[in-house]
Chain A
Amino acid sequence: MGHIVLEKVKKKFGDVTVIPPLDLEVEDGEFVVFVGPSGCGKSTLLRLIAGLEDVSSGVIRINGQDATSVPPAKRGLAMVFQSYALYPHMTVRKNISFPLRMAKMDKAEQERRVEQAAAVLNLTDYLDRRPGQLSGGQRQRVAIGRAIVREPAAFLFDEPLSNLDAALRVGMRLEISGLHKRLETTMIYVTHDQVEAMTMADKIVVLHDGKIEQVGSPLELYRAPCNLFVAGFIGSPKMNFIDGEKAEEFNAHTIGIRSEHLVPSPTEGLWKGQVGLSEHLGSDTFLHVHMEKHAEPITVRSGGEVDIHHGDTIYLTPDKGHIYRFDDHGLRVD
């Protein structure tokens, strides 16, 4: 069971309000990802849920019970830190069993749970090593192991993959997703990487300056972002925004169009521009197209092996069904 509700939760550090009153519900068994730019309050929100910070006002309920002033250990949550926070002087076995030893659990049961977690996480061969003798990915798994053995109501992850290299990150992403499928425990996962958010989440919470901009499934956010911020944040490459005359033709203050919804053509189309840089990824090529009266280049996706070169004139035609229109407050209008 891991049903977490935040009601009007607010956090101030001194005079600075980092989290204005905020409501959020995390269902039991859900994989929720908090995503947002650096400094937007993701870690703070997670630490409020964990109990490492006290809320300035508001209520946190865990499984229906008011947990606002319950100490972290009693909340039944486990947390995995960005720095892993392993205990350097203890072996991997001791690290993983630490929460069990603190709970004075029966020795045989401790042993059983540690072995089981180690088997799940491929750590069996490393149980007698110290954290200093492990690679980054292995340390990460030890940190996860320490969280699993407690059989918590929910897991909290604070950017657990940001210290790993790109290849390992993809691997660990799958492992954590796999773990969620198997354990079916609530997970709250903080990241600033929207790819992690899109690939792992059941539900994404987009944060901006401590405020929730939008909550929804990855595809909901991709298909129907409610404002400019979410539209620009979700999706890779970033959505193109166009304002001025071209937007007015669509009765909007700003229009947004994703690179995959623009059709490039060397001969004809709605908008005319010049090709600047192009990024060849093999399967796709992203063209940066410069249009008159637009400082920002427009990113366009085209096939992997296109015959378009720097300086060529190009015409772009947006896919009418995928144009997002925003009013002058940045909110999307249908």
Chain B
Amino acid sequence: MATLDSRTISRMMMAPAVFLLLVWMLVPLTMTFYFSFKKFLPLRGGDLGWVGFENYIRFVTSSSFWPSVQATLAIVGGVLLITVFFAILLALLLDQPMWGQGIVRILVIAPFFVMPTVSALVWKNMFMDPVNGLFAHLWKFFGLAPFEWLSQASLLSVTMIVSWQWLPFATLILLTAIQSLDREQLEAAEIDGASTLARFYHIILPHLGQAITIVILIQTIFLLSIFAEIFVTTQGSFGTKTLTYLIFQRVLESQNVGLGSAGGVYAIILANIVAIFLMRIVGKNLDK
């Protein structure tokens, strides 16, 4: 009986937090739905009444819609691939006993503390600038014409910048996961005749499965809504206009709240499709 009582009490104690979360989520969501069915132009007449599904139709039929979905998926996919791959390598490396381990680990984590806007600006002006950037100097050193990163390989550049920011997070999670691996398992595998590569494939990688899943899920949630990096580098030009950026343009640049809200609803749908897709592929790792 005690457990039944304490369960009721614990539910009551949790109620305010749950309520707050619900309100927090439901109010913006309801407002987005509300505006998406209206013609609402703040500087050109304000609320101009209900329009049904017109905003939804206009948003998808716009020539920027599919490219923006593609750009979003390309950036998310690219960043996930790059961060997971390099995070595994870095975690393996940082797990080795070495001199100055503590400092190296802090250095690796450092990019995570830099604000997205700042890091994007640093990349844009210090590395990728075709005149003054470090890359331009490097290219010139080898006698090549400087590469115009942000206009000629804009999607790749944005992916690189975002990957740089998220690599520490992925590395940190995978490093702690590697450190929790029982050394005797590796030793047993070594005695059992597994080569270094086989030990990685049969022991370390399965052990990391769960952590990799978590990294992918968390990063996807945040990456679907990246904005600052695009805002300060390409402003959405050269094929880097993501869904989030498109919505921003519709609401603030064209001052069309209704259209933007319809885009917001599409963004929710996209996020859910991606989430379901991910859960199918990697989610089963979490059951273990």
Contacts and interface: CB of A to CB of B under 8 A. Distances in A.
Contact of B202 (A50, A77, A98): A98
Interface stretch (B36-44, B179-187, B230-238): B179-187
B188 interface: yes
Q: Is the interface of A mostly helix, strand, loop or mixed?
A: loop
B253 to A, nearest CB: 51
Interface string A98-127: 110011000000000000000000000000
B184 A83 contact: yes
A85 B182 contact: yes
B32 to A, nearest CB: 43
Interface in B232-277: none
B193 interface: yes
Contact of B189 (A78, A82, A98, A103): A98
B33 to A, nearest CB: 44
Interface residues of B, number: 19
A222 interface: no
A85 B194 contact: no
Nearest to A89: B206
A150 B192 contact: yes
B190 interface: yes
A87 interface: yes
B191 A77 contact: yes
A52 interface: yes
A99 B195 CA distance: 11
B105 interface: no
B191 A50 contact: yes
Contacts of A73: 190-194
A235 interface: no
A252 interface: no
Nearest to B184: A85
A25 to B, nearest CB: 22
A89 B184 contact: no
B86 to A, nearest CB: 24
A79 B206 contact: no
A273 interface: no
A77 B190 CA distance: 11
Interface in A54-110: 71-73, 77-79, 81-83, 85-89, 98-99, 102-103
B187 A102 contact: no
B280 interface: no
Contact of B207 (A51, A89, A99): A89
A208 interface: no
A11 interface: no
B195 to A, nearest CB: 8
Interface centre among B185, B190, B193, B202 (most CB of A within 10 A): B193
A288 interface: no
Given A89-B288, A102-B198, A52 B190 contact: yes
A99 B192 contact: yes
A328 to B, nearest CB: 44
B82 interface: no
A290 interface: no
B108 interface: no
Contacts of B203: 87
A79 B191 CA distance: 7
A46 B224 CA distance: 53
Nearest to A51: B191
A71 B198 CA distance: 15
A99 B193 contact: yes
Given A73-B194, A103-B193, A85 B188 contact: yes
Contacts of B182: 83, 85
A325 interface: no
Interface string A308-334: 000000000000000000000000000
B194 A102 contact: yes
B187 A85 contact: yes
Nearest to A83: B184
Interface in B194-221: 194-195, 198, 202-203, 206-207, 209
Given A77-B191, A102-B195, 19 more contacts: A73-B191, A73-B193, A79-B188, A79-B191, A81-B187, A82-B184, A83-B184, A85-B182, A85-B187, A87-B185, A87-B189, A88-B207, A89-B206, A89-B207, A98-B202, A99-B192, A102-B193, A102-B194, A102-B198
Q: Which 3 A-B pairs have the closest CB atoms?
A: A85-B184, A99-B192, A85-B188
17 contacts: A50-B191, A71-B190, A72-B190, A72-B191, A79-B187, A81-B184, A85-B182, A85-B188, A86-B185, A88-B207, A89-B288, A98-B189, A98-B192, A98-B194, A102-B193, A103-B193, A146-B188
